[in-house]
Chain A
Amino acid sequence: NAGVTQTPKFQVLKTGQSMTLQCAQDMNHEYMSWYRQDPGMGLRLIHYSVGAGITDQGEVPNGYNVSRSTTEDFPLRLLSAAPSQTSVYFCASSFDSSGANVLTFGAGSRLTVL
């Protein structure tokens, strides 16, 4: 059981480039989300999805796009990378979004924007 798989693990981009961080889960979880983690700050929610075809913005959505065409996959797109998007990105999923549900996290994707 792989859980939540993120690729790539490391990426270096130049300002203005675009890229997609991939996230896949094999637990049949309805809820999927993307967080960023920066030094001295808590995990911050970027976008989330409560099911295939449904996405919504989190706390820090600007500069990012998401889509959810299948239950398993939830890619995060950076449209035009900026140095402020240098961070570690985590994809997380849970059974559903109601109540207090435990999140299963991926191993993270470290992005550096030059």
Chain B
Amino acid sequence: EDQVTQSPEALRLQEGESSSLNCSYTVSGLRGLFWYRQDPGKGPEFLFTLYSAGEEKEKERLKATLTKKESFLHITAPKPEDSATYLCAVQAFQGGSEKLVFGKGTKLTVNP
């Protein structure tokens, strides 16, 4: 079963139109939740790590938040250069070992 689910799969925004991406997870023993950005033809690039419910982190137009069941990546007044696929990953201690599980990603397109 999916332990990390990202929604929507794809999102089109107009420049300046704020929105949020969702990452829901079902693991227990959360060690950390990661957000990565992936541009076409490149490897994922780290954005944020969140460790506990209630935590928030910001970087330019992006803000990541975490609850006990999900994380949101809020994008405020996006620009075309924010277009990318955003990946969520959850690290948990399960069954006696560390596991890192990636979601399928949300492809964001910001039109000028």
Contact = CB atoms under 8 A, between A and B. Distances in A.
B49 A102 contact: yes
A98 B51 CA distance: 14
Contact of A108 (B43, B45, B49, B104): B43
Interface residues of A, number: 20
Given A42-B101, A42-B103, A104 B32 contact: no
Given A103-B44, A107-B42, 10 more contacts: A42-B87, A42-B103, A42-B104, A43-B44, A43-B102, A44-B102, A100-B31, A104-B46, A105-B44, A106-B43
A100 B91 contact: yes
A100 to B, nearest CB: 3
Report the interface size class on chain B: 20 to 34
23 contacts: A4-B43, A40-B104, A41-B104, A42-B4, A42-B102, A42-B104, A42-B105, A43-B44, A43-B89, A45-B100, A90-B43, A90-B44, A92-B43, A99-B91, A100-B32, A100-B34, A100-B49, A102-B49, A103-B100, A105-B36, A105-B44, A107-B42, A107-B43
Give the secondary structure class of B's interface: strand
How would you classify the secondary structure of chain A's contact residues: helix, strand, loop or mixed? loop
Interface of B: 4, 31-32, 34, 36, 41-46, 49, 51, 87, 89, 91, 98, 100-105
Contact of A102 (B4, B34, B43, B98): B34
A99 B41 contact: no
A103 B46 contact: yes
Interface string A31-52: 0000000001111110000000
A62 to B, nearest CB: 19
Tell me which of A42, A97, A105 has the highest count of chain B C-beta atoms within 10 A of its own C-beta.
A42
Interface string A72-114: 0000000000000000001010000111101111111000000
Given A42-B4, A43-B87, A108-B41, A102 B46 contact: yes
Contacts of A105: 36, 43-45
B97 to A, nearest CB: 10
